[in-house]
Chain A
Amino acid sequence: MPRRSEARHRPSTDNIAMIDRFPVILAAAGLIGPAVLAYHADDGTRLGGVLAAGHLAPALGCLALALSGAASLAGAQRAGALFGSIGGALALAALVVAGFFPVLALSLGFAASEVARPLGPGAGILALALIALAAGAIARFGAFRNDRFVSVSVVTIGALVVLFVFWPVLRMLSEAFQGDRQADAGVFLDRLLQADIWALDCLWSSARCGVAPNTVILGILAAFFSTTLALGLALIAVRTKVRFPRAFDALAILPIITPPFVIGLALIVLFGRTGIITTFLWEWFGIPRTRWLYGMPGVLLAQVLSQVPLSFLILVGALKALSPTLEEAAQTLRANRTRILLTVTLPLLLPAIANTYLLAFVESLADFGNPLVLGGNFEVLSTKIFFAIVGAQHEPGRAAVLAMVLLAFTLAAFLVQMRLLANTSFVTVSGKGDSGVPAALPKGLPAGLWGVIVPWIGLTVAVYTIVLIGGFVKDIGRLDMTPTLDHLRTGFLVEWSGGGLLWAGSAWNSFWTTVMVSAAAAPLTTIIGLLTAYVLARQRFRGRRTLEFLTMLSFAIPGTVIGVAYILAFNVPPVEITGTGFILIACFVFRNMPVGVRAGIAALSQIDTSLDEASATLRARTGRTLVAVVLPLMKPAIVATLVFSFVQAMTAVSAIIFLVTARYNMATAYIVGRVEAGEYSLAIAYCAFMIVFMIAAIATIRFLVGEARLGRRGSDSIVAGGH
Chain B
Amino acid sequence: MGPASLDFIGVTKRYGTVTAVDNVAFRCEAGTLTTLLGPSGCGKTTTLRMIAGLELASEGKILIDGKDVTHLSAAERDVTMVFQSYALFPHMSVLENVMYGPRSSGIGKAQAAEMAREKLALLGLAGYDARLPSELSGGQQQRVAVARALVLEPSILLFDEPLSNLDARLRRKVREDIRALQKDLGLTVVYVTHDQEEALAVSDEVIVMSNARIAQMANPRELWNAPANLFVADFIGDANVVDGTITAVTGETAALDLGGASVEAPARGLTPGPVKVAVRPDALRLEPLGEGDAGGLTGKVTTASYLGKYMEYEIKTPLGELFVTAPADGGEVGAGARVRLLPKGHGIAVIPQ
Residues of A within 8 A of B69 (CB): 11
A722 pairs with B67, CB closer than 8 A: no
A5 pairs with B83, CB closer than 8 A: no
B101 pairs with A709, CB closer than 8 A: no
Please indicate which of the listed interface residues A147, A618, A628, A717 has the most CB atoms of chain B within 10 Å of its own CB. A618
Q: Is A611 an interface residue (CB 8 A)?
A: yes
Q: How far is the CA of A573 from the CA of B69 in the complex (A)?
A: 49
Q: Is A699 an interface residue (CB 8 A)?
A: no
List the A residue with the shortest CB-CB distance to B100. A618
* Residues 218-254 of chain B, each 1 if its beta carbon lies under 8 Å from chain A, else 0: 0000000000000000000000000000000000000
Smallest Cβ distance from B339 to chain A, in angstroms?
43
B80 pairs with A618, CB closer than 8 A: yes
Residues of B within 8 A of A5 (CB): 105-107
Q: Is A417 an interface residue (CB 8 A)?
A: no
Q: Is B74 an interface residue (CB 8 A)?
A: yes
* Residues 69-91 of chain B, each 1 if its beta carbon lies under 8 Å from chain A, else 0: 10111111111110111111111
A611 pairs with B87, CB closer than 8 A: yes
A residues 657-716 with Cβ under 8 Å of B? Answer: 708-712, 715-716
Q: How far is the CA of A614 from the CA of B89 in the complex (A)?
A: 9
List the B residue with the shortest CB-CB distance to A621. B75
Q: How far is the CA of A611 from the CA of B97 in the complex (A)?
A: 11
Residues of A within 8 A of B40 (CB): 723
Smallest Cβ distance from B128 to chain A, in angstroms?
13
If A5-B106, A712-B134 touch, whether A617 touches B85 (CB-CB below 8 Å) is no
A618 pairs with B148, CB closer than 8 A: yes
Q: Is A613 an interface residue (CB 8 A)?
A: yes
B101 pairs with A720, CB closer than 8 A: no
B side interface size, CB within 8 A: 49
Q: How far is the CA of A145 from the CA of B135 in the complex (A)?
A: 37
A610 pairs with B85, CB closer than 8 A: yes
A722 CB contact (under 8 Å) in B71, B77, B85: B85
B53 pairs with A617, CB closer than 8 A: yes
A608 pairs with B54, CB closer than 8 A: no
B76 pairs with A8, CB closer than 8 A: yes
A617 CB contact (under 8 Å) in B74, B88, B138: B74
B54 pairs with A613, CB closer than 8 A: yes
Q: Is A632 an interface residue (CB 8 A)?
A: yes
Residues of B within 8 A of A1 (CB): 105-107
A side interface size, CB within 8 A: 43
Q: Is A527 an interface residue (CB 8 A)?
A: no
Residues of A within 8 A of B52 (CB): 613, 617
A619 pairs with B152, CB closer than 8 A: yes
A633 pairs with B106, CB closer than 8 A: no
Q: Is A718 an interface residue (CB 8 A)?
A: yes
A614 pairs with B81, CB closer than 8 A: yes
B101 pairs with A619, CB closer than 8 A: yes
Q: Is A448 an interface residue (CB 8 A)?
A: no
Q: Is B304 an interface residue (CB 8 A)?
A: no
Q: How far is the CA of A151 from the CA of B132 in the complex (A)?
A: 34
Q: How far is the CA of A145 from the CA of B70 in the complex (A)?
A: 12
A632 pairs with B75, CB closer than 8 A: no
List the B residue with the shortest CB-CB distance to A11. B67
A8 pairs with B105, CB closer than 8 A: yes
If A5-B107, A715-B133 touch, whether A611 touches B74 (CB-CB below 8 Å) is no
A717 pairs with B71, CB closer than 8 A: no
Please indicate which of the listed interface residues A3, A12, A621, A722 has the most CB atoms of chain B within 10 Å of its own CB. A722
If A4-B106, A619-B104 touch, whether A614 touches B72 (CB-CB below 8 Å) is no
B106 pairs with A2, CB closer than 8 A: yes
B152 pairs with A618, CB closer than 8 A: yes
Q: Is A615 an interface residue (CB 8 A)?
A: yes
* Residues 618-642 of chain A, each 1 if its beta carbon lies under 8 Å from chain B, else 0: 1111001000110011000000000
A722 pairs with B84, CB closer than 8 A: yes
Q: How far is the CA of A145 from the CA of B73 in the complex (A)?
A: 8
A residues 407-439 with Cβ under 8 Å of B? Answer: none
A615 pairs with B91, CB closer than 8 A: no
Smallest Cβ distance from B178 to chain A, in angstroms?
17
Q: Is A616 an interface residue (CB 8 A)?
A: yes
Smallest Cβ distance from B241 to chain A, in angstroms?
29
A610 pairs with B84, CB closer than 8 A: yes
Q: Is A721 an interface residue (CB 8 A)?
A: yes
B80 CB contact (under 8 Å) in A4, A617, A712: A617
B101 pairs with A717, CB closer than 8 A: no
A619 pairs with B165, CB closer than 8 A: no
Q: How far is the CA of A147 from the CA of B54 in the complex (A)?
A: 12
Residues of A within 8 A of B88 (CB): 614, 717
Please indicate which of the listed interface residues A613, A619, A710 has the most CB atoms of chain B within 10 Å of its own CB. A619
B165 CB contact (under 8 Å) in A11, A146, A711, A716: A716
Residues of A within 8 A of B110 (CB): none
B90 pairs with A717, CB closer than 8 A: yes
B78 pairs with A718, CB closer than 8 A: no
19 new A-B contacts, CB < 8 A, other than A11-B72, A615-B104, A716-B86, are A2-B106, A5-B107, A8-B76, A11-B68, A608-B87, A610-B85, A613-B81, A615-B89, A617-B149, A618-B149, A620-B104, A621-B104, A629-B89, A710-B134, A711-B134, A712-B134, A715-B134, A720-B84, A722-B83
Interface residues, chain B, with chain A CB atoms under 8 Å away: 1, 40, 45, 49, 52-54, 56, 67-69, 71-81, 83-91, 100-101, 104-107, 132-135, 138, 141, 148-149, 152, 158, 160, 165
Interface residues, chain A, with chain B CB atoms under 8 Å away: 1-5, 8-9, 11-12, 142, 145-147, 608, 610-611, 613-621, 624, 628-629, 632-633, 708-712, 715-718, 720-723
A-B contact list, 15 entries, CB within 8 Å = A12-B76, A613-B74, A613-B83, A616-B73, A617-B52, A617-B158, A633-B90, A708-B91, A710-B134, A716-B86, A717-B85, A717-B141, A720-B84, A720-B85, A722-B84
**Which 3 A-B pairs rank lowest in CB-CB distance, beginning with the nearest?**
A711-B134, A616-B74, A618-B101
